Amino acid sequence: GKTVYCESEEQKKRGLSYTTFESESQERTMESESIDCERVSERQLNIHAALTSIMQKITQMQKILHKHKWVTIQILSLLTIESNEGEIDGN
């Protein structure tokens, strides 16, 4: 594909670009319809922001889980004890 860069200075600063067309016929089709640089860039920024926020949430969750690892282990061991007792009662 060929990478087309958006023209505005602001967009150049942000390093926004998007990839287009594999073939020349595709390229010509796209040239006849005007490419809305602003909209494409806006979408890229939104996607980037969403991904960043997801990554931050995952990191926070990992920290919390790590901090409370021993609690989790205790809960799991309680659950296993309970299920073992259940089996014993059943017999």
Q: Quick one: pLDDT at residue 59?
A: 86
**Which pTM value belongs to this model?**
0.33
| CB-based contact 40:60 (threshold 8 Å) | no
Residues 19-42 have pLDDT tens digits of: 454 555 555 555 544 556 666 677
C-alpha–C-alpha distance, residues 41 and 10, integer Å: 11
Residue 75 half-sphere exposure toward CB, CA atoms < 13 A? 5
Taking 50 as the pLDDT cut, the residues of the chain under it are 1, 18-19, 21, 32-33, 90-91
Structural Rg of the chain based on CA atoms: 26
Closest CA to 6 of 36, 27, 48: 36
Domain boundaries, the chain: 2-90
